[in-house]
Structure 1
Amino acid sequence: MEFYDKVGKLAIGSRMRRLTELHMDQAGKVYEQYNVEMQPKWFPVFYSLCNGEEKTITQIAHEIGHSHPSVSTIVKEMTRKGIIEESPRKRGDARKNYVMLTEKGLSFDAPLQFQFMDVNSAIEKALAETQHNLWKAIAEWEFILEQRSLDKRVQDERKLRESKEIEIVDYDPKYQQAFRNLNEEWITTYFKMEEADYKSLDHAKEYILDKGGCIMFALDKGEPVGTCALIKMADYTYELAKMAVSPKAKGKGVGTLLGNAAVERAKLLGAKKLYLESNMILKPAISLYQKLGFKKVLGNPSPYERCNIQMELAL
């Protein structure tokens, strides 16, 4: 147990496997007490067939929540022991493999009824000795992992940790080339550079900054990995534009950080509305805008050929 004390919850899977192995070993001894030639891992399959029904491997797997390969392996093991056999009435159907309990398998039912009673009583008493109900805890753990898998939860934590290392800064002439490179990189990945792109990217100061807008950058250890701009359209409206994130920063939540920073900056600039233009093939970007609160609108004709969706956010 010293290993688990040192490692802690990182080893929860290993510890659950250890507990499973402990249960399986002791459950095997229980079957020996009742002279039943059964292995603990076979029980779910046996229980599925104990009423004499004929079932396919797929049906059994679905019923007991095991994988098809796992059930197939167990069925083969039980067949070798003479507990399961292929259904005689279904042998002609090559598309499906129906199985059923043999007479030997069905003979286990009587002794197992007493075993079930005794095991259930023993487990209830064991649970009563614990501070936490393991049965309920397992059900809760299964539920939350079904709602959001462990790998997704770890991914979220990684994004959160890495996002804390990202710094959002304002425009500086030394980042001018990065502003162009980041945007050109993502534009040419999906579309082509257009005249309006060259106008804003090559003359950012005149086209954006001097007209009351701003440009922000996301820095990862000092390196620009993302950018976005707020372009003043009218007294109380700004366009969220030129948002680009380097593929090197994928998964770090840079887009979200820039989007939130842009919304907050727009509020400070006195904006009452944010407007943007995008393309519906950019699903991650559209999803981000929706999370920020943007709604689809019918706007004025766009200077960009690639634009097929316009969105607004009331501030």
Structure 2
Amino acid sequence: MNLYQSLGYLVLGSRLRRLSESFLSEINRAYQNAGIDFDASWFPVFYLLSKNDSLSIKELSEQTEVSHPAASQLITNLKKRKLVTSVTSADDGRRQQVQLTDSGRQLLQQILPMWDAVLSAMTELVTEDEACKELLPAISALENAFKSVNLSERINNKLSSKIKSAANE
């Protein structure tokens, strides 16, 4: 058992970040090996724009569950690469609608088979180990638990209880 495994929930965030970084690195390597200039971090925006003609930055932010500034920064990066553009909304002049450019649509056609291959490879990988089959349901359950419980408050309550117990001893 390595250090991270032995520390359990104390390093949950670090383990999830390491797992995410490893996964995204492998996905980026697969794009690179296929000769596709695409970064896995762009996936949520490309996926949503593949399903919608255009979306506002606010809609992208809400659907990807990232902050508005983070979504805006990603869109700015994609604009610099000429993969997306934004136009002023017809019904609200303050809102910018983001859409794929011709280059973005061409890139989308290149990456669609990769998405199928990623899904297939991950499904195969997960079915090889019984414990892995529970990964996505467990992550969903934990996400829901974090939404319904104030973890920092619970931690502070535990700490207060320990301090009170120690003071009474």
Contact 1:28 1:39 (C-alpha < 8 Å) held by counterparts = yes
Corresponding position of 2:118? 119
Q: Name whichever of 18-27 and 113-122 sits farther off.
A: 113-122
Corresponding position of 2:26? 26
Could you tell me which amino acid in structure 2 is paired with residue 141 of structure 1? L
Post-superposition shift, 1:162?
Answer: 2.4
- C-alpha separation in 1, matches of 2:81 and 2:91: 24
Corresponding position of 1:45? 45
Corresponding position of 1:142? 143
SS in 2 for 1:99: strand
The C-alpha deviation readout for 1:34-85, integer Å capped at 9, x for no partner, is 4332111110011111145222110111112121111111111111111111
Change in 2 beyond 3 A, CA 1:147/1:93: closer
Contact 2:46 2:108 (C-alpha < 8 Å) held by counterparts = no
Contact 2:82 2:101 (C-alpha < 8 Å) held by counterparts = yes
Could you tell me which amino acid in structure 2 is paired with residue 23 of structure 1? F
Could you tell me which amino acid in structure 2 is paired with residue 153 of structure 1? R
Taking the TM superposition and a 5 Å limit, the aligned residue runs for 1:155-166 are: 155-165=156-166
Could you tell me which amino acid in structure 2 is paired with residue 143 of structure 1? N
Bigger CA radius of gyration: 1
Corresponding position of 1:107? 106
The C-alpha deviation readout for 1:178-200, integer Å capped at 9, x for no partner, is xxxxxxxxxxxxxxxxxxxxxxx
Q: Name whichever of 54-63 and 109-118 sits farther off.
A: 109-118
Contact 1:52 1:101 (C-alpha < 8 Å) held by counterparts = no
Could you tell me which amino acid in structure 2 is paired with residue 83 of structure 1? L
Give the structure-2-normalised TM-score: 0.86
- C-alpha separation in 2, matches of 1:142 and 1:48: 21
Which runs of 4 or more aligned residues in structure 1 lie more than 4 Å from their structure 2 counterparts after TM superposition?
Answer: 91-94
Give the structure-1-normalised TM-score: 0.49
In structure 2, runs of 5+ residues without a counterpart are none
SS in 1 for 2:130: coil
SS in 1 for 2:59: helix
**Structure whose residues are more often helix by fraction:** 2
Identity %: 24
The C-alpha deviation readout for 1:222-274, integer Å capped at 9, x for no partner, is xxxxxxxxxxxxxxxxxxxxxxxxxxxxxxxxxxxxxxxxxxxxxxxxxxxxx
Post-superposition shift, 1:152?
Answer: 2.2
- C-alpha separation in 2, matches of 1:91 and 1:122: 42
The C-alpha deviation readout for 1:97-152, integer Å capped at 9, x for no partner, is 22111011111233323212211111111111223221111111111111103212
Report how many aligned residue pairs link the two structures: 167
Corresponding position of 1:57? 57
Post-superposition shift, 1:5?
Answer: 4.1
Contact 1:91 1:97 (C-alpha < 8 Å) held by counterparts = no
Post-superposition shift, 1:93?
Answer: 5.6
Contact 1:52 1:106 (C-alpha < 8 Å) held by counterparts = no
Q: Which has the higher contact order (CA 8 A, sep 6+)?
A: 2
- C-alpha separation in 2, matches of 1:102 and 1:155: 49
**Structure whose residues are more often strand by fraction:** 1
SS in 1 for 2:153: helix
- Aligned CA RMSD, in angstroms, stands at 2.3
Contact 1:75 1:84 (C-alpha < 8 Å) held by counterparts = yes
Could you tell me which amino acid in structure 2 is paired with residue 46 of structure 1? F
Could you tell me which amino acid in structure 1 is paired with residue 155 of structure 2? V
